[in-house]
Amino acid sequence: MSEKKWRFPDNNYTDEKGLDTSDMEIFKKDPIASLAREICQNSIDASYGEKPVKVEFSLFSIKREEIPGINELTEQINKCYEYKKDSPKEGAALTELKKSINSKTIKCLRISDFNTTGVIGANNYKSGKPFYSLTKGSGVSDKIGTSGGSKGIGKFASFVVSTTNTVFYSTKAYDDSMGFIGISKLRSVPMPEIDEDLMTLGIGYYGKNKKNFPVSEELNLDKSFKRKEKQYGTDVYLIGFNEDKAWKTDIIAKVLESFMVAIMNGDLEVKVAEHIVKKSTIANIIYSEEFEKERTKTEVKQIRAQYELLQKDESIISEELVIDETSTVTVYVKQYDQQNESKATKHCVMVRYPYMKITYIRPGAFLPFSALCVIHDNPLNNKLRAIENPQHTDWEIKRLNDFPKEKKETRELKKKLEKTVTDFINNVLRTSENETSDLEGAGEFLPSQDDMPGTSEDSVAGEKIQIKTVTPIKVQSPKTEKAGEKGEGYSIGKGEQNDDGTGEGRPLKKPKKPTSNPNPEPKPEPKPNPPLKEGENPALEKVPLSGMRYRTVVTNKNSGNYDCIFKSLYDENDCELLIKQCGEATDKYPVEIISASINGIPCEVKEGKIVGIKIEKGKNYKISYKVNINEMFASEVILNAIR
């Protein structure tokens, strides 16, 4: 007998399920963000026909009686409430469920995708079919290796966002099949009408028969929306939605942060209420005052960095790197000057096909930079996807603990990926460091031709160096594509539009002008100690030499070799030089110097410091030293006079 209604199966005297099951708990930390990531990923995976895949988030209101089977659903939620209303853990949540489902008008969120296959299998509802896996699978997925998600639990993010824990899925697939089904993730309750020891399974289905098969038609809860003929795709209806004032920018920001590469490639376009997120509107979004006001500084910086790295700009260095004989990645690097170093993320975002951000790595470089690594559709992508966590935010080797051989191979491949990317980034930064003739203050440390006219060589306190004319590397903000130039505008909150509907993005703020006196004179030397009284012994003091500017050059990071170049502002007969490593915040740690030379002449090293240094005012010095650290690090040079 066919009867469309809600059914809540019994648990056959097995487990009692609570309201917060593990498959839902995993998405509660950031539910809106999880929803945006999961939905967009699933839609990209189902790409079909024209590009880009389009995803639409639309809020609407509905009278409660227009929700299929509302009375049966309300009755079940009330049973859950009565059973556990006094529970410290579940009482408050059940109160909210009851309040939401009993509202006369319920806010709902419709999420629809277009230019996709839809979810096939609604009219042939069997295990292994995509629509079956979507609606009845847990930890079950039919996705192939290159698809974005494969854990089969991402769909539970929708239930976390719904204020009634209820979702309807409706699909119109490219094989002309269609259907819809409702699912409510509640908790187990007793079934005394059957047996006092029997309980429900904790989940209910709205279907057409006792097997809980989908209804063979489309569902149109949003009266303002109806699919056209041959307009394939899937509609997800979240019954009950908290209309937080920032919900739009929450989704927009997470989409941009997670799918920037896909959007810039023209693979994805997202509409959130009245706002459209696509390649030509990104600049207007991310540089708007409203976006900057509603998002954190870190979030804004990371989103802008991804966008700028994907611009065609001479300040961006990109290269395709070979990881093994079957797989390559593309890495983009941008270095920043002192005026723009606050824009640097100092990490490399890791994006895998179909172009979703997963995590990031820190190469350890101390120069300000941002970087992006794009892993393409290849075997490396497949191996990393296999160790991805359910939230798609990390690659975890431990997921292969039961497969030691595969675990070893994947670990080695992952390490090779990280090392190759890290080495490339550091090489780019090192090349920029060595090839630029006047990077921030370099002229203060190196002799110029003006000091010795008529010659191309000069002496650095006795050592000849060759002075070459080199082309400076420009470090600048990218020339972004002007948003709206094709008649497309975008604004969040306050914004301006021209009469023709086009919009202008907020221009980048101009960097602050340097101070008029960037190289101040050194502070006055300390006054000499007062004359000693008869019988007193002189006590030497360490006096920091202020006003000195040092330039550190990496000569071989693997062996820990560095050069410190500076021009002396003092005459001193006895100095010591020490190096400190800069850690997080204001933390600094002494670095042991193993050996050193001044202008090529070996000098004394004692207790990790260079001692016995003699300097003369106006002379240039190059101190070469070796430390016990075999990787690049942020450092501070301290030169003390012993008086």
High-pLDDT (> 70) share of the chain, %: 80
pLDDT at 167: 97
What's the confidence (pLDDT) of residue 210?
92
Q: How, if at all, do strands 268-272 and 53-63 pair?
A: parallel
By CB atoms closer than 10 A (0-12, 13-18, 19+), residue 568 is buried
Identity (one letter) of the amino acid at 473? I
Q: Would the CA dihedral through 493, 494, 495, 499 be positive or negative?
A: positive
Domains defined for the chain, CATH in brackets: 5-243 (no CATH), 304-435 (no CATH), 542-642 (2.60.40)
CA gap 330, 599 in Å, rounded: 41
State how far the Cα of 478 lies from the Cα of 310, in Å rounded to an integer.
Answer: 9
Residue 493: both structure tokens together? 């909150």
497 DSSP assignment: B
Query: What's the chain's length in residues?
Result: 643
Distance CA 505, CA 482 (A): 7
Both tokens of residue 165? Answer: 């824990």
CA distance 9 to 203: 7
SS3 76: helix
* CA distance linking residue 299 with residue 372, whole number of Å: 16
3-state secondary structure of 77: helix
The alpha carbon of 639 is separated from its chain's Cα centroid by a whole number of angstroms, namely 40
CA distance 360 to 348: 5
Residue 199's Cβ-count burial label (10 Å; 0-12, 13-18, 19+) is buried
**Per-residue pLDDT at 469:** 36
**Predicted TM-score (pTM) of this structure:** 0.69
Reference 52, options 236, 214, 278; nearest CA is 278
What secondary structure does DSSP assign to 134-171, as a single string? HHH-SS-----TTSS--SS-TTHHHHHHSTTSEEEEEE
Per the CB < 8 A criterion, the answer to whether 475 and 315 are in contact is: yes
Supply the pLDDT for residue 498.
42
* Interacting residues of 8 by C-beta distance below 8 A, sequence separation 6+: 76, 186, 200, 201, 203, 204
Positions in the chain short of pLDDT 70: 1-2, 139-154, 432-538, 583-586
For residue 154, what pLDDT is reported?
Answer: 67
Burial of residue 38 (CB within 10 Å: 0-12, 13-18, 19+) is buried
Point out which residues pair with 351 in neighbouring strands.
357, 374
C-alpha dihedral sign at 66, 68, 71, 73: negative
Tokens of 572: 């001193």
Tokens of 176: 């002309």
Contacts of 197 (CB under 8 A, 6+ apart): 13
